[in-house]
Amino acid sequence: MRLLRVFRRRARSLFRGAQVDGELQNELAFHLEQLTKENIAAGMDAGEARLAARRALGGTSLIAEQCRDQRRIGWLTDLRKDVQYSWRMLRKSPGFTALAVVTLALGVGASIAVYTLAESLLLRSLPYATPERLTAIYSVHARRGELESVGGEDFRDWQAANTVFERMAFTDFNQMTLTGHGDAERITGTFVSEGFFEMLGAPPLLGRWFTPQEQKPGADRVILLSHGFWMRKMGGRPEVVGSTVFLSGFPYRIAGVMPESFRFNSWYAAEYWTPIGYVNYGHQNHQYAGYARLKPGVTIQAAQAQMSEIARRMEKQFPDCAGWGVRVVGLRGDFLKEFSPALGIFAIAALIVLLVACGNVASLLLARGIGRSKEIAVRMALGAGRRRVVRLLLTESLLLSCLGAVAGLALAAWLIRLAIAAAPPHLQLGAMVSVSPTLAAFAVVLTLSTGLLTGLWPALRGSRRDLQSDLKESGNSLVAGRQQVRSLNSLVVMEIALAVVLLTFAGLLAKSFAYLLHTDLGYRTDGLLTFRIGLPSSRYKNDQARIQFWDKLLPQLSALPGVVSAAAADGVPLGGTYSANPLEVEGQTAPRDWTDVTSRTSSVTASYFRTLGIPLRAGRSFNAGDVADAEPVVIVNETFVRKLMPGQTPLGRHVRLGGDKWRRIVGVIGDARYHGPAQPVESEAYIPYTQDSILLFVALRTAVPEEGVFGAVRNIIRRMDPALPISQVRTMRQSIDLATAMPRAMMALVVAFAIVTLGMATLGLAGVMAYTVSRRKREIGLRMALGAQGGDVSRAVVRSAARLIVAGSAIGVLGAFAGARTLESFLYGVRPHDPAVIAAAPLVLAAIALLASIGPAHRAASVEPMAALRQE
Amino acid sequence: MPKPSDLLQGTLDLLILKAISREPAHGWGIAKRIQLLSDEVLSVQQGSLYPALHRLEQQGWITAEWKDTELGREAKFYVLTREGRRQLERELQSWSRLSSAVQLVLERT
């Protein structure tokens, strides 16, 4: 109550100062009148009475001033004056102001963008009940130490044996064809094992979870929809819950809709969830993503200890489990392992930009402060205290940082939009980013500390002075103050060092990206179109029907004008499908760890290698003779030979997939990078499609731009079977671009930041050089009058610039050397301490920075000795 | 006439609060009332009266409104707020503690 009244008073004094003053004058006038009246009553005449009253009351303006002091808003009115004054000063030097504001905007904007992303991804809790108890479960191959997917059988045994988890569940990637809602469409979703949603504690928006009954084999045609899918395909109508939707030809009952905020660890955006059917793949299989919820009070370490114990028991029990362990990791960490390193780099880059921006503005302010020393000396001579002067100067830098922050917000919004576009779509980064109170607080604190960081030092320096000498000094001393120049120099050295660090990072990422682009993928990427068509098993029931379809389709496609050849396969590079199996080589009796003999297996039409441009190294390709009941054959790649049968002649030897029939190796093909440039080559074994007929992708080698032929391709397929969904229509170039989007975005961002930093550091150096030259004009004039040549003078200037560059670069190289390790997980084909990059970064900077110092050097050389000396 | 005693630091606030505790008064009235009630011993310097009023108002102890005086001219009348009344209690207590302490010292030496 009282606080409210006090607040209203202060507000009134602040905003209605004139009115309050008027009332005070009125009040005093009344007092004066009363006093005069009293004096008249005491017998004085009117004039005398008034004079006596005035005498008694004293100076009304003094009283008014004392009253004003009582209002306790002095600091605020002073602040207003300071702001107004600073604003005028900034407006008077628009060049300086614009430079400082833009510089600060870059630093503040980048930092706010990073913080927004970090907060959305790292700090906000996962949208499940007690998320800290959720974990991800991996199989881990003891010898290789790599985390692998879990197997269904392993998982069931873990579930039965452990006492640390409340619930466990696993998921699998799944795709089905949606019919009955417009064109047939391939949609992606997730198979979930029983209890998955209960484990997460994530209730649906509409409807309910699957009941235990619905998750029994045979009764499991139920589905939960994602919010996005429900809006897109069902128009967001709530009454669809309980109705039926046709997927891959089978009716699925819609059990419910998940909320928009629901998302789960996966490398794709799931549009539905459906119970996983039980298939016993044995203990060798590793294909599911496992998760578990810890019992209350159980730590991850305790869970890990028990699971390791269980895994050791299983190693003895099942031969296929030998050499395998279990790893339990927190769900959040698991979720972020892909992004936190990228965010870390982003944060380092933003911090460097911010620091260099602060350094740059600080040096600008410092230089300005030296130039303004006379004005400040006058202020102090007139009685301004040091604190008052510091406050005035700080107001100026705070005003700058506020202006910078406003511009920075726009930049941050733009950067965030860029990041959302570059992030993998399944992350749904756009939905996660939001403005929060902590974000606002961060922005305010950042802005104020930027203002303090840039302004405090220059302000303290600027206000620490010896009045006498400054008043005498005409702002054109013989030599610039040694100390002031030294502080400017150290700022520039810091900027150069940071710029070198960021340039090194940018260089490493750029070199790595160039490596990715120029890696030989093993197939020809230009003029290659791939798309996906899955034949529904409800209508293409057996091998014969499927083989017939492909035999009819492919000749029509390759007959199209512009198409060189057409092929089909169960997977194409970067198509997203993958299957691998352990293979047994005839005559190798020594038991080997099956993970060492696991190869990618693929079923392809005869034209596949020709279409993709994968060269044949030995033997023959598949041909029309490799029909279903002919001799089983296989073609392997060079890595297969190297890994599974080193030093042997592969042709004619036999291999088989576990339990399958023996196949004769008829050909060896070149290595191809199935997962794109960043991943290593795997051993591969290809089987003719007539002997394994489920194909999913078509590949076309074209002699014309790929997009040009697709219309005709679609028509042919429509004529054959109008209900077939065609999806993932991409040129191989597009697929590669997609696969390299993250490293590309990463590189682009760091390179952009590095260029900005380089620019700022260069400007900082040039500014300081220009400033020192202008301060030393008289000294230079004197030297020249004494016989120094223009060349000597400009060389001296360049030399002093070079000293700063060398010092900064040396520190920067050390910093880059120490920091480059953080980049390691983003580098392909480049080591973090790549000597060429580490040497090139300071050289590039030195070249540009030296160029920038030529201007000031030239100006120094063209000083007119007489004019400079007379200037005093 | 002896020169009126200077007011002890802090007692002016107490006197002002007390002076308007019965009924509202304007600055002039407060000064007069204090002078009258102290049998002309205490005289409030105008130079300190108005800043004090301002301070009390800023602190929320008193509030003011413009009203017509009996002479037909507008004047600023000060009133105690509820918090001001409580503040007056506190100040009275501390004053009586102080004055009795001073009294004790004077009696015992």
pLDDT band per the 50, 70, 90 thresholds, residue A377: confident
Domain of residue A46: give its range: 2-72
Best probe of the A interface among B46, B61, B78, B90, by most A CBs < 10 A, is B46
Of A295, A322, A349, at which residue does a domain stop?
Answer: A322
Question: In this predicted model, what pLDDT tens digit does every residue of A305-358 receive, in sequence order?
Answer: 999 999 999 988 888 888 889 999 988 888 777 777 788 888 888 889 988 988
B8: confidence class by pLDDT, cuts 50, 70, 90? low
Given a contact cutoff of 8 angstroms between Cβ atoms, the answer to whether A629 and A662 are in contact is no
A39–chain B nearest CA distance, Å: 14
Alpha-carbon gap, residue A688 to A854, rounded angstroms: 69
Task: Count CB atoms within 10 A of the CB of residue A611.
Answer: 29
Q: Is residue A93 part of a domain?
A: no
pLDDT of residue A505: 93
Least confident of A275-284, A498-507, A737-746, B39-48: B39-48
Q: Which of residues 552-581 of A touch B (CB under 8 A)?
A: none
Name the CA dihedral angle for A315, A320, A325, A329, rounded to a multiple of 10 degrees.
-140
A4: pLDDT strictly greater than 70: yes
Whether residue A751 sits in one domain with residue A677 = no
| Percent over 70 (pLDDT), chain B | 90
Domain boundary pick from A694, A724, A754: A724
Cross-chain Cβ contact A67/B83 below 8 Å = no
Give the residue from chain B lying closest to A26, CA to CA.
Answer: B75
| Domain contains A43 | yes
Q: Is residue A644 part of a domain?
A: yes
Same domain, A442 and A550: no
pLDDT at A26 over 70: yes
Which tens digit of pLDDT belongs to each residue from A638-667?
A: 999 998 888 888 899 999 887 778 999 999
Q: Is 70 exceeded by the pLDDT of residue A591?
A: no
Read off the pLDDT of each residue in A371-388 and give the average, rounded to a whole number: 78
A693 and A828 assigned to the same domain: no
Alpha-carbon distance A731 to A707, whole Å?
8
Q: Measured between CA atoms, how close is B102 to chain A, in angstroms?
A: 31
What's the pLDDT score for residue A260?
82
List residues bridging with B78 in a β-sheet.
B25, B64
Share of chain A above pLDDT 90, in %: 26
Burial environment of residue A33 by CB neighbours within 10 A (0 to 12, 13 to 18, 19 or more): middle
Query: pLDDT band at residue A478, thresholds of 50, 70 and 90?
Result: very low
Among A724, A756, A791, where does a domain finish?
A724
How does A478-487 read in b/e, with b if 16+ C-beta sit within 10 Å? Answer: eebbeebbeb
pLDDT score for A573: 92
Does residue A565 fall inside a structural domain? yes
Same domain, A407 and A554: no
CA angle A708, A710, A711 (to 5 degrees): 90
Cβ–Cβ contact A422 with B under 8 A: no
CB of A72 less than 8 A from some CB of B = yes
Co-location of A569 and A704 in the same domain: yes
Same structural domain, A276 and A308: yes
Of A4-18, A79-93, A154-168, the least confident:
A4-18
pLDDT at A474: 46
The yes-or-no verdict on residue A609 having pLDDT over 90 is yes
- Co-location of A212 and A285 in the same domain: yes
Q: Which region among A546-550, A632-636, A715-719, B43-47 has the lowest average model confidence (pLDDT)?
A: B43-47
**Whether residue A347 is found in the same domain as residue A444:** yes
Same domain, A305 and A363: no
pLDDT of residue A466: 58
- pLDDT of A265 over the 70 cut: no
Within A273-384, residue ranges assigned H as helices are 300-317, 331-336, 340-371, 373-381
Both tokens assigned to A2: 């009282």
Cβ count near A213 (within 10 Å): 9
Q: Does the pLDDT value for residue A153 go beyond 70?
A: yes
Query: Could you tell me the pLDDT band of residue A862, with boundaries at 50, 70 and 90?
Result: confident
Chain B residue numbers with beta carbons less than 8 Å from the beta carbon of A10 are 58
Instruction: Give a yes or no: residue A118 inside a domain.
Output: no
Find all residues with CB under 8 Å of A398, minimum gap 6, and list them.
A448, A451, A452, A455
pLDDT tens-place string over residues A434-460:
777 888 888 888 888 888 888 887 777
The answer, for A141 touching chain B at a CB cutoff of 8 Å, is no
Quick one: average pLDDT of A224-242? Answer: 89
CB nearest B60 (choices: A6, A24, A56): A6
**What average pLDDT does the structure give for chain A?**
85
Domains of chain B (ranges; CATH) run 11-108 (1.10.10.10)
Judged by CB atoms closer than 8 Å, whether chains meet at B58 and A9 is answered as yes
Tell me the helix, strand and coil percentages in chain B, rounded to 5: 55, 15, 30
**CA dist., res. A44 & res. A485, Å (int):** 72
Min CA distance, A2 vs chain B (Å)? 6
CB–CB of B27 and A67 under 8 A? no
Predicted confidence (pLDDT) at residue A584 exceeds the cutoff of 70:
yes
- CA-based nearest residue in chain B for residue A71: B58
Q: In total, how many domains does chain A have?
A: 4
A&B contacts, CB < 8 Å: 68
> Which class for A729: exposed (0-12), middle (13-18), buried (19 or more C-beta within 10 A)?
middle
Q: How confident is the model at residue A855 (pLDDT cuts 50, 70, 90)?
A: confident
Does B73 reach chain A within 8 Å, measured CB to CB?
A: yes
The pLDDT of residue A266 is above 80: no
Residue B47: pLDDT above 50?
yes
- Measured CA to CA, the distance from residue A434 to residue B88 in angstroms comes to 52
What confidence tier does A604 reach under pLDDT thresholds 50, 70, 90? Answer: very high
User: In 3D, which of A357, A363, A349 has the Cα closest to residue A401?
Assistant: A357
Nearby residues of B92 by Cβ (< 8 Å), 6 or more positions away: B14, B18
Predicted model pTM? 0.72
Compare CB distances from A30 to B51, B59, B75 and report the shortest one's residue. Answer: B75
In a domain, A236, yes or no: yes
Using the predicted structure, report yes or no on whether residue A202 has a pLDDT greater than 60.
Answer: yes
A120 or B31: whose pLDDT is higher? B31
Q: Which of residues 15-34 of B touch A (CB under 8 A)?
A: 26-28, 31
Query: Is the pLDDT assigned to residue A508 strictly greater than 80?
Result: yes
pLDDT of the residue at A73: 67
- Token pair of A695, please? 């194909």
| Chain A contact for B108 (CB, 8 A cutoff) | no
Mutual orientation of helices A437-463 and A373-381 as an angle, nearest 10°?
80
A328, part of any domain: no
Q: DSSP letters along A491-514, please?
A: HHHHHHHHHHHHHHHHHHHHHHHH
- Say if A8 is an interface residue toward chain B (CB within 8 Å): no
CB contacts of B40 in chain A (<8 Å) are none
- Confirm whether A671 is domain-assigned: yes
Q: What is the pLDDT of residue A572?
A: 93
What's the CA gap between A709 and A700, in Å, rounded?
9
Same-domain pairing of A243 and A269: yes
- How large is the ipTM? 0.82
Give the C-alpha separation, A757 to A844, whole Å: 13
Do A427 and A477 belong together in one domain? yes
Q: B26 vs A27: CB contact, 8 Å cut-off?
A: yes
User: What gap in Å lies between CA A426 and CA A667, rounded to an integer?
Assistant: 39
CB contact under 8 A, A13 and B81: no
Smallest Cβ–Cβ distance between B28 and the set A9, A34, A62 belongs to A34
What is the model's pLDDT at position A125? 65
Same domain (yes/no): A480, A441 = yes
CA dist A743 and A299 (Å) reads: 36
